Structure 1
Amino acid sequence: MQRPRLALVPGEPAGVGPELCVRALQRSWDADLVLFADGAALLAAARHLGLPMQRPAPDRVSAPGGSFVLHDVPAAVAVSPGVPAPANAASTVAALLAAADACLAGRCQGMVTGPVHKAAINDGGIAYTGTTGLLAAHAGRDVVMMLANPAMRVALATVHLPLRDVPEALTPGLLEDTLRILHAALGKDFAIGDPVVAVLGLNPHAGEDGHLGREEIDIIIPVLERLRGEGMHLEGPLPADTAFLPAKLARFDAVLAMYHDQGLPVLKHAGFEQAVNISLGLPYPRVAVDHGTALDLAGSGRADPSSLFAAIETCTRLAAARAPGASRHEPA
């Protein structure tokens, strides 16, 4: 099979993204990397780290781990590590969209993204709630956020919402769409023939038969029963406080949490450094690091590249799974 080409986007140029990408370029991968970034910021990061990197040629740079293509997206103003500039918001978003266009056109077979500083983009005059939403709107697809590490996969029914808004957002339509996207991705991208998904309840003790809330009775259970009738293997709604016990977790291929902080603290405790953020439902694989811009570490050389390395490895596997002729429905 031909090596996949992955679009690699550092994200916020004043954060740790550029230096993490420079570290990635020192290694050999099972994919070719195409960077969508400000070339000057990459060179500056290499100098801060004391790592070798040639000055970018018009379209190609050599690195110890091999070669990579640079799609230069210049920042509007000079990048200062640790100090996001709202003036660079447009170029940060432009790099993400250029990488997405390359994936949609088939020039790249997957996309890996570094951390983005949402406040800096909004301060730059661009309404921005996150890269997942940006890419979903750009592709015209409904997308589900799933975080994964070697211990577990946790998808989210709702994402970045205030807790008081979650019950109203958790509609039967949203839950059904989320489960369909998750179920399809486990088969298509992870080659799991009959995935088992644990669905958490919204309320403590999964509502305790309506005594602690009716969302399980009125919303979650009817959706699960309908999809089970179509052959999906769904367990729940389960109390969130016991669903992650190792003996139970071993039976599940993924867990669907109802809101952000219901499932992600457990996953991150189980292995933060190896955790990645996967966007399910896009026409191409997209994997992001599971950490922020770490402005306090930018330029220091102390940022841990483990999550970016895991994201590249994960995206490479997902791209291979989607390649023509790839085997399907084998044990993951």
Structure 2
Amino acid sequence: MSGATGRDGWVLPALPYGVMALVVVFELATPTGFGLMPLMSLGPAFAGLVGTKRRTARIGALAVLLCLLLAASDGALGTRRVYIAVMSVIGVTAAGLLAVASRERRDAELASVRSIAEVAQRVLLRPVPRVAGELRVAVSYTSAVAQARIGGDLYEVVVADGSTRALIGDVQGKGLEAVETAALVLGAFREAAHDEPELAGLGRRLARSVDRELEGEKFVSALLVEVPAGGREVTFLNFGHPAPLIVRADGSTLFPEPPEYALPLGLSTVGGEQPDPYTVSFAPGDQILLYTDGVSEARDGAGDFYPLAERVALLKDPDAEAAIERLRTDLVDHATGPLHDDAAMLLLRHREA
């Protein structure tokens, strides 16, 4: 991949000069020429693919000069074929300049959109604290959309009244509507996490907020986590989300399932009960990986799912951020190409007492 990128880095800028050089060679091959002089216009045509208007105009002027020099070398100055060749070069150069101006305008618009997207990302998915109560925290987000920064996956970590509460979720659908729904869920969580004394109450409030705003068949799978100050246990509240991965200090693993799975947020009108919190021991040296189904359902070329439980050795790095980056890199390598779904991961490490 990098090799192809490197070749493109010099091939396209050199292409106009190479084409014009070939025309010169063929025209000089015989005293009367091959009649390829109009092809000199390919120089400024290719110049419009990359570079600036000034570069395109400079290559166009060089093409005109080469046409005149070739015509002078075989005594063809003033003939119709030379006029046609020069006019072809001038016309293609003018078209190239218009194309470059349009491309530069689109590039400026794209840069503006990317800038707005980066601001939206900082507002929607704010940087999580590296240390939160009893925890060290690291996060990873890989969008399935090329060059996109944000999508339908969401996460947040809040320290409230000494306890640490975390959320990870996955919005049904893609695009701007998914981003809008993610913003709704995050806003409700950030407010309720400070007000509700119990995780169950936080879940009910979050469900009401989402049910009130979502329309149609939209829904959000979500997993809420609470680690009390000084506690040796973690409480989960699961709204139809993949079970978390707990990695013990001794390297053993556990996917704690809820007693009974509940429907995702936004589907309470369909029926079903609110989820019940469930608690698992969480000692110093343990770590929890929260993730979306873009991780667990990532497939390789043979169609095999990503073996998350077999990759826990990648989380041994003492630096939490380095550990989750190693896992993200391995996930992308497993997929052998662009991910088919956004993939968010939130790593919570119990700090040593």
TM above 0.5 = no
Structure showing greater radius of gyration is 2
Considering fraction of residues, name the structure with more helix.
2
Considering Cα pairs closer than 8 Å and 6+ residues apart, tell me whether 1 or 2 has the greater RCO. Answer: 1
- Shorter-chain TM-score category? under 0.3
TM-score normalised to the size of structure 1?
0.24
